[in-house]
Structure 1
Amino acid sequence: MTVLSRPIEILRPEAIEFGSGTVAAIGGWVAARGIRRTLVVADAFNAARIGILGLPGEVAVFGEVKPEPDIPNLGKALALAEAVQPDLVIGFGGGSAMDLAKLVAVLPGSGQSIHDVVGPEKVLGRKVALVQVPTTAGTGSEGGTRALVTDPATQNKLAVQSRFMLADLAVVDPDLTMTVPPAVTAATGVDALAHCAEAFTSRKAHPVIDLYALEGIRLVGRFLARGVADGTDREARAGLALASMYGGFCLGPVNTTAGHAVAYPLGTRHHVAHGLACAVIFPHTLAFNAPAVAEKTALVLQALGLPASSDPATVREATHGWCAGLGIEMRLSRLGVPEGDLGAMATEAHAIRRLLDNNPRELSRDEILAMYRAAF
C-alpha cells in the first residue's frame, strides 16, 4: 500500500544535461575542473568514438566492457585504473559500461574488493570525479547509485549500492542513441518500461516515485514503436531517453521486483541480453501481480495505449502482443535457453530476495517455473 508519509530519500546526480547536442558540454565541464587524466569505460563500439566527448588532457580507454559484465571483466578495468590513476572516470555506453564505471571510480586504492561492497552503502568513499554518458535508452544507470556485476562462481548478479557511485554529471544526449539497431532499441525500451512498471506496482511504491514511473511508462508507450521503426526519429529517441532516465530514478528508493528477479538467470546463465530477458518475462510477472495491484496494473496498460484491464489473462495477452509487435522474440526456446535448465533457473530466481521481497504478491519457486514454461 502506498503511504504518503513513509520516509523516502531521493538522490540525483549533481548536474544533469538532457537533450540533443548536450554531449558538447562535457569538454568544458572537464576543463573547468582542471582534470588532467581521464579514464573512459566503454564497450568496443563506443570506445571507437570517444572523440565526440571532446575531452581535454590525457585520455585512457577501457574498451572491453561485456554485455553482461562479470568479476574478471571488472578486474581488467580496475587494473587499468590502478595504472592510469585518473582524476575522472567516464561511463560511456549502456548500463554495463556505466555500472563498471561506478565501481572503477570507487574501488581502486580503497582497499576494498567487489565482495566487500556488495549490498547497501558499504563503499568507503570516492576520490575521483564521475561522469555518466548513456548511449542506449534502457537502464537509466546514469541517474542511480547501483551497479551490478555477475559472479561466475555462483552465476548470480552482485548488487552494489552506494551514494558514492552517484555521478557528478550525467549527460543524456538522445542523439547518441541513433546508432542503436531496432532490436536493441526495442529490448532496452522494454527494460526502461519494466523499471517503471515494477517500481509502480512494488510493495515499496511511493507517490514521489509513482510520478516518474507512470510518466516513464507513458513515454515508452508513445515512442518505443516509433524509435524501433525509425532510429533517426529525434523526438522518439528523446522520449525514450527520458523514459530510461525516469526508470533509473525509480531504482534507488524503490527498485524492481519479480520481473527482474525472474529475468536475471536468463542473462547470467544463458547470456540473453538484459533488456531482452526483461521483455520476455514482463507480461508474465505483470499478469501474476495484477490481482494484488489491480488499479495500478490497469493504469500500466492504459499508459501503454492498451485497453485498461487487471484480468491476468487479458494483461498477459495484451502486453505479450505489444512486446511481440515490436519484433521482440518472446520464446525462450528461440533464445538458446534449454528446457532442462528451467528448474535450476527457477530455484536461482526464487533466491533473489532483495527483489522478490518487494513484489506485491508472494511468488513461489513453482510459480516462477510455470512462468518459464509459459514463456518457453
Structure 2
Amino acid sequence: MTDLLRPIDLDRPARIAFGPGQVDAIGPWARERGITRSLVVAGGFNAARVDLLGLPGEVSVFGTVKPEPDIANLDAALALADCVQPQLVVGFGGGSAMDLAKLVAVLPGSGQTLHEVVGPEKVAGRRVALAQVSTTSGTGSEAGSRALVTDPATQNKLAVQSRHMIADLAVVAPDLTLSVPAAVTAATGVDALAHCAEAFTSRRAHPTIDLYALEGIRLVGRFLARAVADGADREARAGLALASLYGGFCLGPVNTTAGHAVAYPLGTRHHVAHGLACAVIFPHTLAFNASAVPEKTALVLHALGLGGASDVLAASHGWCASLGIEMRLSRLDVPEDDLPVMASEAHAIRRLLDNNPREMRREDILAMYRSAF
C-alpha cells in the first residue's frame, strides 16, 4: 500500500486567526457567542496581560501554569474551573498553558478523571467553548488535539488525545512573541522544527502532512536565526509562528517519533525546558534515522540550508549550536549516573518510538545521551 492509499483523518480548529493584530479577534468572537464568563489559563507573564484579549463579561484567571505542568498544577486549575463554571476556556501562552486549557475545557462536570482519559479518543465530550492564543513559536499546541501532563509519581508524561480538545478558535498573533528572549526563541524554534522533521520522517508520514512538515522546516531554516539575532524582526517572528502552526498540524494525524521520546526524560526528571530538551536531542535522532530515510533526511538538511552536508550529526549539531543553544547535557545539570535510567524511561515510550523509521534500542538511546553529555 502506498502512502496515498493509507487513510488519514485531518482535524483543525474551526477558525484560525493568523497574523499581526489578530489577538483582537477573540473579543468579538466571544461576544458573538454570548460569552459572559471566561477562564483564562496562563503563566505569570501572560496572566498580567490578559486585558489584551478584550474578553467580555466576567474574566477569571488561573495564572500559575508551570513550564512543565504536573497533575497538581492541573488539579489547581480544575478546582478554579469548578468554582467559576466558565462558558469559555482560553489557553493564553505556550504549550503548557494551552495543554492545561484543553483539559480544563473537557474534564469539569464530565465525570471523568485525568487517568481515565489518557490515550487516544477517551474524552466523553466538551460543554464549553475553547480558544487558544499562542504567545510562543514552538509547540503548535493551538492547532492540536493532544495535552501532556507530568505524573510526579512515575516522572512520565501522560498524553491525552481527543478531537474534543481541538480549539474552536486558534489565535496566532506573531507580535505576542516579540518579548520572547533569544534563548527561548532558539529552543522553541527547534521544537517546532522537531515536530515537522519527526513527522516528515515517521513511519506514519503521509503526503497530506508532508506538505506542512517540509514547509515548516523551511520556515525555521529561513527565519529562526534572524529572530534570535533580532527579536524585533516582525517578519521573522511571523515566519516562526507559521512554522509552529504547521508543526501543530503534524502532531494530530502523524505525531512525533524518537526525538521527543528521548527528550521527555530531560524535562520530567531534570526540569530541562521542553524546547531546549528537543533541541539538544534533535541532531542525534536525525542522524540515527538517516540511514532509514536518506532522501527525506537530505530534504530536511536542504530546507535548513545545510544541503550537501555529508555528516548529518555534525551539520545539524553545528546549526543548533550556532543559535546559541547549550547542546551539552552536562551543562544542563543532568547527572551522568542518571543516563541509564533515562534511557530505560525513553525506551518505554512506545507510542512515539513505534513510529520511528528505524528501530531504536535502549542501548542506542543511552549512546545518544552519552554523546550529548
Q: Identify whether the pair has TM-score above 0.5, normalized to the shorter chain.
A: yes
Letter in 2 for 1:41: V
In structure 1, C-alpha distance between the alignment counterparts of 2:2 and 2:280, rounded to whole Å: 28
Match of 1:280 in 2: 280
The match for 2:83 is 83
Q: What's 1:369 paired with? A: 366
Number of residue pairs aligned between Structure 1 and Structure 2: 373
Name 1:355's counterpart in structure 2: 352
Q: Is the 8 A contact 1:2 1:204 kept in 2?
A: no
Q: Deviations over 1:65-92 (max 9, x none)?
A: 0000000000000000000000000000
TM superposition shift of 1:308:
3.3
Q: How many angstroms apart in 2 are the aligned matches of 1:245 and 1:45? A: 22
Residue 116 of structure 1 corresponds to 116
| 1:190-201 equivalence runs, <5 A | 190-201=190-201
C-alpha distance in 2, partners of 1:360/1:190? 20
1:339 corresponds to 2:362: no
- Aligned equivalent of 1:322, options 319, 323, 334: 319
CA distance in 1, matches of 2:60, 2:142: 21
Q: CA–CA distance in 2 between the matches of 1:348 and 1:301? A: 29
Q: Which residue number in structure 1 is paired with residue 44 of structure 2?
A: 44
Q: What is the rounded CA distance, in whole Å, between the counterparts of 1:288 and 1:25 in structure 2?
A: 44
Once the two structures are TM-superposed, the CA of residue 307 in structure 1 deviates from its matched residue by 2.2
Superposed CA offset, 1:135-178 (max 9, x none):
00000000010000000000000000000000000010000000
Query: By how many angstroms is 1:2 displaced?
Result: 5.8
Residue of structure 1 equivalent to 2:96: 96
2:368 partner letter: M
Deviation of 1:209 after TM superposition, in Å, equals 0.2
Partners of 1:118 and 1:158 within 8 A in 2: yes
User: Distance in 2 between the 1:145 and 1:358 partners?
Assistant: 18
Alpha-carbon distance in structure 2 between the residues aligned to 1:374 and 1:185 = 25
- Separation of aligned partners in 1, 2:200 and 2:282: 14
Task: Tell me: CA distance 1:367–1:133, structure 2 relative to 1, closer, same or farther (3 Å).
Answer: same
Contact kept in structure 2, 1:2 and 1:206, CA below 8 Å:
no
- Separation in structure 2 between the aligned mates of residue 150 and residue 2 of structure 1, nearest angstrom: 37
SS of corresponding position for 2:330: helix
- Contact in 2 for aligned 1:193/1:216 (Cα 8 Å): yes
Distance 2:2 2:92 in 1: 36
2:185 maps to amino acid? T
Q: Quick one: distance in 1 between partners of 2:344 and 2:173? A: 40
Listed as ranges, the matches of 1:24-35 within 5 Å are 24-35=24-35
Moved over 2 A (4+): none
Aligned to 1:157: 157
Paired residue type of 1:324: A
Paired AA for residue 209 in structure 2: I
Deviations 1:105-145 (A, max 9, x none): 00001111100000000000000000000000000000010
1:262-319 C-alpha deviation (Å, 9 max, x unpaired):
000000000000000000000000000000000000000000011235x5xx000000
| 8 Å CA contact retained: 1:105, 1:165 | yes
Q: CA RMSD in A?
A: 0.8
User: Partner letter of residue 364 of structure 1?
Assistant: R
Instruction: Measure how far apart 1:3 and its partner are.
Output: 1.2
1:133 is matched with 133
CA–CA distance in structure 2, aligned partners of residues 210 and 122 of structure 1: 27
Deviation at 1:4, TM superposition (A): 1.0
* Other structure's SS at 1:4 match: helix
CA distance in 2, matches of 1:333, 1:3: 41
Share of identical aligned residues, percent?
80
Q: Measure the CA separation in 1 of the matches of 2:191 and 2:105.
A: 25
TM-score calculated relative to the size of structure 1:
0.98
Aligned residue in 2 for 1:12 = 12
Output the CA distance in 2 between the equivalents of 1:79 and 1:140. Answer: 26
Distance in 2, matches of 1:139 and 1:5, equals 29
Structure 2 SS opposite 1:20: coil
SS in 1 for 2:363: helix
Structure 2 stretches lacking a partner, 5+ long = none
SS at match of 2:302: helix
Give 2:180's aligned residue.
180
**Could you tell me how far apart the structure 2 residues matched to 1:271 and 1:255 are?**
23
Structure 2 counterpart of 1:246: 246
User: Residue 274 of structure 1 aligns to which amino acid in structure 2?
Assistant: H
Correspondence 1:244-323 to 2 at 5 A: 244-309=244-309, 314-323=311-320
Distance in 2 of aligned mates of 1:10 and 1:307: 31
